[in-house]
Amino acid sequence: MSRFVDRFVSIRAGLRLRHGAALALLLGLIAPVSELGAQTYGGREFNYPATRQGVTRAQPALRSQTAIPTSRESAVPGRTYPGTDAGRAYPGRGGRVETGRPGRPPRYPGRGGGWGPAAAGIGAGIIGGIILDQAARRPVYDPYEPEPVLPRRPRRPVILDGDDLDEPVLRHPRRPAPLRAAAPARRTPPPVQTARPTPGQPPIIVPAASERRFVADEILVELAPNAQADAVLRRHRATLMSSRRFDLAGVTIIRARLNDGRSARTVLSQMAGDARVASAQPNYLYTLQQDALRPEAPKDEAAQAVPEAASAAAEPVASLPKPEDAAPVLAAPPVIASPELPPVVPLASVAPKRELQPQYVAETLHYDAIHKLARGEKIRVAVIDSGADLAHPELQGVLAGSFDAVGGDTTPHAHGTAMAGAIMAQAQLQGVAPAARLLAARAFSGNSAPASANGTTYHILSALDWAAGEGARVVNLSFAGPQDRLLSRSLAGAKTKGMVAVAAAGNGGANAAPLYPGADPNVIAVTATDAQDKPFAQANRGSYIAVAAPGVDVLAAEPEGRYAFSSGTSIAAAHVSGLVALLLEKRPDLDLEGVRKLLMESAIDLGGKGRNPIFGAGRVDAPAALARTLPVSAARP
C-alpha cells in the first residue's frame, strides 16, 4: 500500500508545473486556443470560445442541413459546398477533402484546430514535473526493497621486506576513538586526600577498643589542601607539638597533643566528619623484640663463656641490679610512658647455665668462607633502634652517621648496641659484614635495659627519612607493633629508592596475631633458630615470614664494654641485614624483591618440604646466597 501512496504523491507533485514544465504547459495551451473560433461542419456551427478560465466544451448550432461528400472520389476540385467557407478549396491531393471521424469537425492543418499541441504541452508539463520532483525529493526508505551495496574502498597493498616477515603486520589499524569531554564536576566535590589510605582502611583510623599500643593523648593529622592548622587544632582542642614533611611517605604530618584529658580514640571519632582533615591516626607504639630475664649464672661460668680478652670487662656483671630492684624502674620509662603497656623485664648480662660455643653463629653462617668473597665494603646499614654505645670496642671505626629522633636522655642502650655489633663487630666478636658502615638512628627511648625502650610512629618515620637521605642501602628494623598506615607508606617509598628493609617477625608466640613492620610486604621478615636449627619458641608464626637465621643464645655486645647472651627475632634480623650488605656489595643493582628471592631460593629447607609458617623458606645459607651473586668462575671452589 505504501508504494501506491508514494506514486500518487509523485504524480501530484508533478502537476505543480514547476520550473520548465510550467512554461512548456502554458505554451502548449496558448497556441491552439488562440485560433479556435466558430467552425461549421455538416450544417452545424461549432463554437470554441477561449476564456480566461480554460477551454469550454463546444456547443453545436443548427444551420442548413447540406451534406458534405464523405468520400474522396465524390469531391470535385475547386468546388465549394454550402455551410463551409465560401471560395476556400480543401487542401489535399487533387483537391480532395480529408475529413475526420464521423460526428466530429474536421481537422484543418495549419488552422490551429484540435487538441494536439495542447495535449503535448500538458504531457510535457506532467512528465517534466514528475522528473524534477523525483530529482528534488529525498529517497523514501522502503523496508521491502533491498538496501544498496556500498562500494568498498580498495585495500592498499602491503609490502613486506625480508626482515619484517617474522614480525606481525597490522593490516587494518583501528582509528583511535574520539576523546569525549569529561563529565562536569559535582557542585560539592569531596575533599582531596593527598595521603592515599591503605586499601581497606578509612582516612580517619579509630583504634579498636582492644587496641592499647598507642600514645593515649597524641594524634597524627594530615590536613586537606588550603586547610588552616590553627583552626583545625582549635576546633578539636589540641596543641601543636611538631610538624614535618616525610618524603618517603609523601605527606606532611602534624603531631598534636590533646587537651582536657581526652583520649585519642574519642578525638579521632569526632574528626571523621571534618572535611579539613585529609587523614588522621594514632601515634602508635612499638617495642623492641628481646627475650625475658634468665637466671643469673656463677661468675666462673660467665668467665668461661665470655672470650678471654673480654673477661676484664665482665666485672660489671656482678654489680648489675637484681630483677626485683630493676622492676620499679621499668614501671615508668623516663621519656615515653604508656600506662596501658605491660612492663617488660630486662635481659641480665649473664651467661646461660649450659655451656655453648662463644659464637656458634660464625660456624653456622660460615664467616671464614664468605668473608673471603665479601665484607660489606661501602655499604651503609641503618639500624633504627634505641641508639648504640659507639664507644664499645666492637663498634670502633664503623660509624658513618648518627641521628636522634627522640631527644632527651641519651644513655647508651643495650638493644641497639647488640644489633649494631651483630652486623659489624670488629674486636673479639665477628660481625656478618665487618666492613659495612653504620648509620645509627635513635627512634626508641627508655633506660639502659635491652627491651625497655618504646618507639612511636612519628619517631620511626623521622629516622627512616634521615636514613634515606644518608644513602642507606640496608635498614634493620628489630621491633614490632600494630599495623600502621603511615609506616607502610614510608616503607613503600624506601623500596622505591632501592633500600632493602629487614624486620623481625616478632616474639609474640605461635598463636599471636601478625606483628608489624614484619608483616608488611615491603620488608623481609626474619624468624629465629638455635644452634640445632630448631625454632625459637616465642617467635611469631605466619605466611609473611621469609627466612630464618640464628637468634637464640647469641653472644652480643652491651654498653660499657660488656657482653651478654641475646635471644629473639631481633638479633636474627640483624644477622640477615649483615648478609644483605654482602650481597649488595657484589650486586649493587639488587632491589628488595631480588634480595628476597635470592635468600629464599638459597635457604636450607627446615621443617616440612617447602615454605612453611614456622621457618619460611628455611634458614639462610650465606655461602650459597653469596655464590648466586658472583660469576660462575668465581663461585666455583
DSSP letters spanning 576-637: HHHHHHHHHHH-TT--HHHHHHHHHHHSBP-SSSS-BTTTBT-B--HHHHHHTTS-HHHH--
Q: What is the mean pLDDT of residues 268-284?
A: 93
pLDDT confidence bin for 21, thresholds 50/70/90? low
> From the centroid of its chain, how far is CA 475?
28
| Domain ranges, ordered by start, for the chain | 1-63+113-137, 214-288, 361-635
Q: How many whole angstroms separate alpha carbon 316 and alpha carbon 118?
A: 142
> From the centroid of its chain, how far is CA 236?
34
Q: What is the mean pLDDT of residues 283-296?
A: 68
Q: Whose grid coordinates read 637465621?
A: 549
> Is 59 or 214 the better-scoring residue by pLDDT?
214
- Does the pLDDT value for residue 372 go beyond 80? yes
> Is 600 or 328 the better-scoring residue by pLDDT?
600
Q: What is the rounded average pLDDT for all residues in the chain?
A: 74
pLDDT confidence bin for 263, thresholds 50/70/90? very high
pLDDT for position 610: 86
* β-strand partners of 277: 223
Q: What is the mean pLDDT of residues 40-45?
A: 52
pLDDT for position 617: 95
- Alpha helices in 484-591, H assignment, sequence order: 485-496, 569-586
Residue 364 backbone dihedrals phi, psi, to 5 degrees? -65, -40
Stretch among 64-73, 411-420, 590-599 having the lowest mean pLDDT:
64-73
Question: 453-473, pLDDT tens digit by residue?
Answer: 789 999 999 999 999 999 999
Q: What is the mean pLDDT of residues 321-347?
A: 34
pLDDT confidence bin for 221, thresholds 50/70/90? very high
CA separation, residue 82 to residues 69, 198, 485 (Å): 11, 124, 130
Question: 417-433, pLDDT tens digit by residue?
Answer: 999 999 999 899 999 99
- Give the CATH superfamily of 361-635: Peptidase S8/S53 domain (3.40.50.200)
Q: How many whole angstroms separate alpha carbon 621 and alpha carbon 604?
A: 6
> From the centroid of its chain, how far is CA 417?
42
**CATH code, 214-288:** 3.30.70.80
pLDDT for position 338: 36
pLDDT for position 10: 55
Q: How many whole angstroms separate alpha carbon 375 and alpha carbon 435?
A: 5
pLDDT for position 630: 80
> What percent of the chain stands above pLDDT 70?
58
pLDDT confidence bin for 608, thresholds 50/70/90? confident
pLDDT for position 87: 44
pLDDT for position 236: 94
pLDDT for position 125: 75
Question: 53-91, pLDDT tens digit by residue?
Answer: 444 444 444 444 444 444 444 444 555 545 444 444 444
Q: What is the mean pLDDT of residues 208-230?
A: 94
Peptide bond before residue 69 is cis, with ω within 30 degrees of 0: no
pLDDT confidence bin for 355, thresholds 50/70/90? very low
Neighbouring CB atoms inside 10 A of 5's CB total: 10
Q: Whose grid coordinates read 585495500?
A: 155
Q: Annotated catalytic sites, by residue?
A: 385, 415, 570
> Is 164 or 23 the better-scoring residue by pLDDT?
23
Quote the Cα angle for 47-52-54, to 5°.
65
Quote the Cα angle for 422-443-326, to 5°.
75
The answer to whether 450 and 347 have CB atoms below 8 angstroms apart is yes
Q: How many whole angstroms separate alpha carbon 570 and alpha carbon 576?
A: 10
pLDDT confidence bin for 413, thresholds 50/70/90? confident
Burial of 120 (0-12, 13-18, 19+ CB in 10 A): middle
> Is 449 or 225 the better-scoring residue by pLDDT?
225
CA separation, residue 349 to residues 39, 277, 315, 318 (Å): 153, 48, 11, 9
Q: What is the mean pLDDT of residues 196-213?
A: 78
pLDDT confidence bin for 517, thresholds 50/70/90? very high
Q: How many whole angstroms separate alpha carbon 194 and alpha carbon 4?
A: 71
